[in-house]
Structures are given as C-alpha cells and as structure tokens.
Structure 1
Amino acid sequence: SQDYDSLLFGAKTLIRNLTVTGKRKLPNKDVYVEVKPERIDLDQVLKTLGITREQLIDIAILIGTDYDPEGIKGVGPKTAYRLIKKYGKIEKAVEAGEIPKREITFDVEKIRELFLKPEVITPSEPLEMGSPNDEEVIAILVNEHNFNEERVRNGLDRLKRAMREAKGFSRQTGLDQWF
C-alpha cells in the first residue's frame, strides 16, 4: 500500500512503492526524487519515536486522516508529535490549552476507535487465489472506475505470468525476500 494509514490500523509492516519505479516530482517543488521500494516496520517506528500506536493515531488525527481530512489548523507533523509526546493524548493537550477546544470539530474517540477496532469481515469460505477473470477485472477497473484498459491488460498479463512462474517454486515466499 502507499497509505500510511495502514500502520494506524495495526499493519506490522508497510511496503510502499513496490510496483512504482523511477523518479517522482515533489509537490510544489522543482525537485525529483528516486522512487524505490520502501519497508516500514511499525514496531521500529514506535520505538524510534518513543510513542505507542495510540499516540501515533493521535498524531495522525491532529495532522489529518481519511476520517478528519483537515486535521487541526496550524498543526503539522512536528507540532503534533511534540504535543502528543508532552501530553500523551489529544484530550490532555486540549485541557492544557495547547489546542483550542473549538478546533476539535470531530469525535476524537470515535476516530481513534475506528483505527484500534476496525470492523473486520470474516469470509464464510477460505479465500483461494485462482486465475483472474480478465473480463470481470476490466469491467470493474476500466468500465466502472475509468482505469486505462491497456495498463490493466498489461498488469493482468504480468500477474498471470508471475503466477505461472510461481507454480515452479516448491516453497512459499514472502514479500520480505524481495528486499
């Protein structure tokens, strides 16, 4: 995934840029950076920052997440980190007057719970990887979501080729073996 929210939901490892290569232009700058696969370990991030997962969630809430896209006006990553390190949680920073109460226009506890206890659907049958149904994939990605048909077909061809090659392996491999 490219989405750091995966860590907030409790993913132990986040792999970014797995299928992206080359250079990317930084937003609002005339600077290009090399893009390569990146492995982010949640436990290492928490240890390095000296915070808990709950505190990481609070930092994200202050900055802005999918559930509160704006975050708190004037609070960026450094300020959010400083406030949570000092007070431990958003509510205590508000009590101390560091964050004006009027800026909290959303239910902090509810957003926190969405990350800590997400609704998880358990499949009624075991999921098995079979050959992709090209026409169904194209119907969904191209017809419903306006993906580029040529790119989708190329991706399907690469997936099927990789699946054929993987059948030759006698043991299961994990993503970590690519790094």
Structure 2
Amino acid sequence: MGVKVKDIISPEKISFRDLDGKIIAIDAANTIYQFLSSIRQTDGTPLMDSSGNVTSHLSGLLYRISSIVEKGIKPIFIFDGKPSPLKSETLNKRNEIKEKSEKQWKIALKEGDEESARKFATRTSRMSTYIIETSKTLLNLMGIPYVEAFGEGEAQATYMVQNGDAWAVASQDYDCLLFGAPRILRNLTLSGNKNDLEYYKLENVLNNLKISREQLIDLSLMVGTDFNPGIRGIGAKTALKIIRSKTLEEYLIEKNETLGRHPYELRDLFLNHEINKDYNIKWEKVNKEKLIGFMCDEHGFSKERVLTAEKKMEKINSPQNSLDAWF
C-alpha cells in the first residue's frame, strides 16, 4: 500500500533506453502482488495448473523478467523479511479487506456478474509460502539473484542502491523515498509501455518540496504509513504546509493529536531500519532444461512461450555476469 504522497510529487522523464546496463533492485512482494492481482481469467479466477496451484505469479515473473532483461536491465529481487510489530494493524486491515472481497467475489460469481467478480477478485491476493518459494525457484532457474531482507524489502533495496550494488529501486510504493532511496522507478514490472515508466530522484523530490528527508518522513507520518494510521483529515498537501511551518511534535501538542506511537519510534523505522548486509549478487545462465521441467511439466505452461522467454534472456548468459561488469 505505502504512503500516499502522489499529490505532492511528480515523476521525471525516463525511458527503457536510459536503463540499458543498469542494475535494478526490485521489490519482490510488490511485484508478485501485481501479478497475482492482474493475471486472472475474466471471472477473476487466477491462473492455475492442472493440480489447482496458482501460477499467475509465475506467468508474470517469467515474461516480465525476460522482457526487461532483453532491454538490457539487470534485475535483483528483494524479498521481505519479518514485518515490524508496528505493521500488524495494517496487515490485519488488509486481511479484513481480502476476506470481505472473497465473499463479494463469490456472490458476484453466483449472480453471473463477471465484471464485479473480477474487480473483487483482484483484492483477494495472498502471499503464501507456496507463492514465495515457487517464485524463488523460478528466479533461480532463470539465473536471477535475490536477496532476503531482515525486515522491509524496500529498506533493503534502498541500502543496496546507497551501497552502489544497484542503480535504483523498483517499487510501486513511495515508501522507498522515506527509507532514503536515491532513485526510484515505478511501473517497471507492471507494463512494457515506455510511457508508463516513472522515475523519482530523492534529491530532486526534496528540493522541489523544499523540505528535508526527515521532514518528508514526518509529513508521511501525518498522512499515514504502513506503521501508523496518520491523522484524520490530513492529506499530503495539508501535511506539507504544516511541516514547512512547524515540527511534527509542535503540531501534535498544539492540536492534541497522537500518532499512536512516539514520533521518534516511527521515524526510526525509516532512518535506522535493520539491514541484511551479508548478501552475494551473481547472475547465472538460464537452466533451460530445468526451467522447461518446472514451468511446462510441473505447471502446464506452453513450451513455446517458455522458450521464447528463455531466448530473451541471452544477455544474462553473456560472460560478463558479475556485479562489476554492469557498472
């Protein structure tokens, strides 16, 4: 979900050509959820193999990864670790929405309303152990490295960009700005249309808003993040005006408001998030035989389509597959 600051920031122009040769740290959960939500049949049923296992995520990963690699991009996927206890309220609300949507989906199906059924179905996606593990299996077979975060994947991806191991973070959420990501890409894995790409440079975002990163965090805490509900009636534009004139603490005291937690504790989640620094990044050749076995034999994908995707991965198969070769 992420923080809602879209109303006060604007993307810069960028094209896939600009990303040729760039290493991109991709928010795995964010990306997989996109595929689970969007790759469905007309009645909202996800893609499944003959055994009833969901395969929407595998379809999305296979074709999107091969497409961006063909464009010269080197992807690294970052998986979430254990969520902060402060995120429990957000996670509970998301589960409530999923449960309600599942009931509405069934009702719409029973009434033969496919349009409504699909709308409700897109809100029911869940990140199960099966989804995560099969995603990692596919990445391994495609030769794509992944890193497991201790906490938030966006924080881990941000660190990797700050550390010079990647050029930008790819995620639909603006939280990456709060974690301090120097560069962010949106819609990288959502669409192959160059016009959909969005690029944000943290330095420019802060300069345009005339605030510091710490103030951006405070602004976001007022609006609401995954770790706190925010202040009722405060949107991004209003929060920006407030934070330019006074500190968050001053406003809370003045209006007798609360964030549920002390601002320092919430800020610390973004400023000092626990990071996994022990990771190894290496791209491998596509394991063609095992890829076909996994996708076609186990999950019923078309061999022709899998081979088409494998063909697009040729750049990964080049001798220069170490990290240094791509900077």
TM-score range, shorter chain: 0.5 to 0.7
Residues 85 and 155 of structure 1, relative CA distance in 2, 3 Å threshold: farther
Give 2:271's match in structure 1, choosing from 116, 133, 141. Answer: 116
C-alpha separation between the residues in 2 aligned to 1:156 and 1:55? 49
CA contact (8 A) 2:185 2:200 kept: yes
Residue 126 of structure 1, CA deviation: 2.4
- 1:79 aligned residue (234, 238, 246): 238
Contact 2:222 2:239 in 1 (8 A): yes
Residue pair 1:20, 1:37 contacting (<8 A) in 2 also:
no
What is the aligned partner in structure 2 of residue 165 from structure 1?
315
Equivalent residue in structure 2 for 1:129, among 283, 297, 302: 283
How far is the alpha carbon of 1:22 from its aligned partner?
8.2
Give the letter aligned to residue 127 of structure 1: I
CA distance in 1, matches of 2:263, 2:318: 50
Is residue 38 from structure 1 mapped to residue 198 from structure 2 by the alignment?
Answer: yes
Q: For residue 264 of structure 2, what is the amino acid of its counterpart?
A: E
Amino acid across the alignment from 1:165: K
Deviation at 1:122, TM superposition (A): 1.7
User: Residue 79 of structure 1: CA displacement?
Assistant: 1.1
Match of 1:100 in 2: 256
SS at 2:185's partner residue? strand
CA distance in 2, matches of 1:172, 1:73: 50
CA distance change for structure 1 residues 3 and 157 in 2, over 3 Å: closer, same or farther? farther
Q: Deviations over 1:92-149 (max 9, x none)?
A: 2223x1x323x332222111011001100122x52323347759x98xxxxxxxxx98
Q: Is the 8 A contact 2:222 2:259 kept in 1?
A: no
Q: Which amino acid aligns with 2:178?
A: L
Separation in 1, partners of 2:314, 2:189: 19
Secondary structure in structure 2 of the residue aligned to 1:21: coil
Residue number in structure 2 paired with 1:55: 215
Name the structure 1 match of 2:173. Answer: 3
C-alpha separation in 2, matches of 1:65 and 1:115: 11
In the alignment, the residues of structure 2 paired with residue 149 and residue 50 of structure 1 have an alpha-carbon distance, to the nearest angstrom, of 53
Q: Does 1:15 align with 2:171?
A: no
How many pairs align?
147
Instruction: Give the Cα–Cα distance (whole angstroms) in 2 for the partners of residues 128 and 113 of structure 1.
Output: 32
Query: CA contact under 8 A between 1:17 and 1:35: conserved in structure 2?
Result: no
Instruction: Name the structure where helix makes up a greater proportion of residues.
Output: 2
**Structure 1 residues 18 and 86: alpha-carbon distance in aligned structure 2, compared to 1, 3 A threshold:** same
Name the Cα RMSD after superposition.
3.6
TM-score by length of 2: 0.38
Measured in 1, the distance between the counterparts of 2:307 and 2:185 equals: 21
Please give the residue correspondences for 1:145-164 in structure 2 after superposition, counting only pairs within 5 Å. Answer: 158=309, 160-164=310-314
222, 225, 241: which is aligned to 1:65?
225
- Partner residue in 1 for 2:248: 90
CA distance in 2, matches of 1:80, 1:156: 51
Larger relative contact order (Cα-Cα within 8 Å, sequence gap ≥ 6) = 2
Find the aligned partners of 2:238 and 2:264 in 1 and give their Cα distance: 20
> Which amino acid is 2:186 matched to?
R
User: Cα–Cα, structure 1 residues 104 and 20, in superposed 2: closer, same or farther, change >3 Å?
Assistant: closer
